[in-house]
Every structure is written in C-alpha cells, then in structure tokens.
C-alpha cells in the first residue's frame, strides 16, 4: 500500500471510530423496542462494518478494509465505547470478513455484488462472536433469526450503502487521486467514446 492508501484507510477508520460512539448510544435507545424480540437488534448491525467496505472500495488494496475497521474499533474502545476490548475483536472479524469478500475476487472486482458479499461475510463472522459473547442465553431459534437480520443488514447497510456512498463521492471528484476515482474516470471516458 502507498502512503496515501494508508492515510485514507486510517482517516476512514478514525472518522467512524468517533461516529461509532454515537451509534453505540443508539443501541441503548432502541433497547426497550427490541426487548421483546432481541433478534431485531441485528437490523442495524451493517453500519458497524461500513468503514471496512468503504476502505476496500476506495483504496482497493489488500488490508485496507481490515486496517480501517481496526482503527475504528480501537478508537471507539479508547474513547470509552461501551463494549470495551470486545470492540477490537469485532473490528478484526468485521474487517476480516470484508477482506475475504474482496479476496475471493483477487481484489479485481469492486462491484455492488462483491461489496454486498463482503458485508454478508463480515456479518456472519460478527454473529459468531456476538452469539457466544453477548447472547449466550439466546435460544437457537432467536439466534438464527438474529443471524438472518445480521446478513440482510450486512448486505444492505454495509455493502449497498457503502457502494452507493463511494459512487456518490467519486462523482464529485473527491476520489480522483485514488483507484476508485481512476476507475470512475475510465468509465466516463468509455461512455464518451461509446456515445461518439
């Protein structure tokens, strides 16, 4: 990875690490709403994996997703996040899951389906951790429903939302110095050539 790739990955992670403190508080607020049906907590899970998919789509280098997610998780823990060191374990699993999604395509495809796959794998790995660390008393029926919510959230709130955000950023020119911006520029040139 180039220095700019490292800096962008760290910046994404740092921004989300701070934002996650507020997002963690949201879980406390929805607690009374999900008390009767705990699996519903999984609906919001995909946002936690977002730094990883953003870094993967923007930087497009092995390790970017893992780095961004670990920075976000570590910063959240340092700033007093409610899950303590477990946050770093989550960051490792979430970032690793997104890495696996892109690794399956040898870091050559940065499409919506691949981003969604990364989100789904991150969700599955995080579910395993949370099932035994945070929900050990949950019945297997509810645990499997929680997994279903995690997977849908990983696909949509991580993969699809992350992909859409990168496309929107690319359209502004903010990513022109990075691989995601260069790809967008190639797409524009190809469209112009086809139109001509």
Specify whether the CB–CB gap between 55 and 64 falls below 8 A.
yes
Res 179: pLDDT: 82
Number of helices (H), then strands (E), belonging to the chain: the values are 8, 0
Specify whether the CB–CB gap between 155 and 116 falls below 8 A.
yes
Low-confidence ranges of the chain (pLDDT < 70): 183-196
Res 191: pLDDT: 61
Res 33: pLDDT: 74
pTM: 0.89
Res 180: pLDDT: 82
Specify whether the CB–CB gap between 59 and 110 falls below 8 A.
no
Q: Which of 56, 135, 59, 128 is nearest to 99 (CA)?
A: 56
As given in the structure block, the two tokens for residue 61 are 């280098």
CA dihedral defined by 9, 118, 100, 69, rounded to 10 degrees? 30
Question: What's the rounded Cα separation, in Å, for the pair 172 and 105?
Answer: 27
Give the pLDDT confidence of 9-22 residue by residue, as tens digits: 999 999 999 998 88
Question: What's the rounded Cα separation, in Å, for the pair 10 and 66?
Answer: 10
Specify whether the CB–CB gap between 147 and 43 falls below 8 A.
no
Name all domains of the chain by residue range, CATH numbers in brackets.
Answer: 3-195 (1.10.1760)
Res 184: pLDDT: 63
Question: What's the rounded Cα separation, in Å, for the pair 22 and 103?
Answer: 31
As given in the structure block, the two tokens for residue 107 are 């870091």
């Amino acid at each position: 990875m180039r220095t700019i790739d490292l800096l962008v990955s760290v910046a994404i992670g740092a921004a989300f690490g701070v934002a996650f403190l507020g997002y963690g508080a949201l879980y406390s607020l929805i607690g009374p709403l999900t008390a009767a049906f705990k699996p519903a907590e999984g609906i919001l899970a995909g946002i936690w994996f977002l730094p990883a998919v953003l870094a993967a789509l923007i930087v497009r280098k092995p390790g970017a997703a893992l780095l961004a997610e670990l920075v976000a998780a570590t910063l959240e823990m340092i700033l007093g996040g409610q899950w303590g060191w477990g946050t770093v374990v989550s960051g490792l699993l979430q970032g690793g899951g997104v890495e696996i999604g892109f690794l399956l395509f040898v870091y050559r495809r940065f499409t919506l389906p691949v981003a969604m796959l990364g989100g789904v794998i991150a969700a599955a790995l995080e579910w395993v951790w949370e099932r035994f660390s945070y929900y050990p008393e949950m019945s297997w029926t509810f645990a499997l429903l929680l997994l279903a919510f995690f997977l849908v959230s990983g696909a949509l709130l991580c993969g699809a939302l992350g992909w859409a955000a990168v496309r929107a950023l690319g359209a502004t020119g903010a990513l022109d110095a990075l691989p995601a911006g260069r790809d967008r520029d190639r797409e524009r040139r190809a469209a112009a050539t086809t139109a001509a």
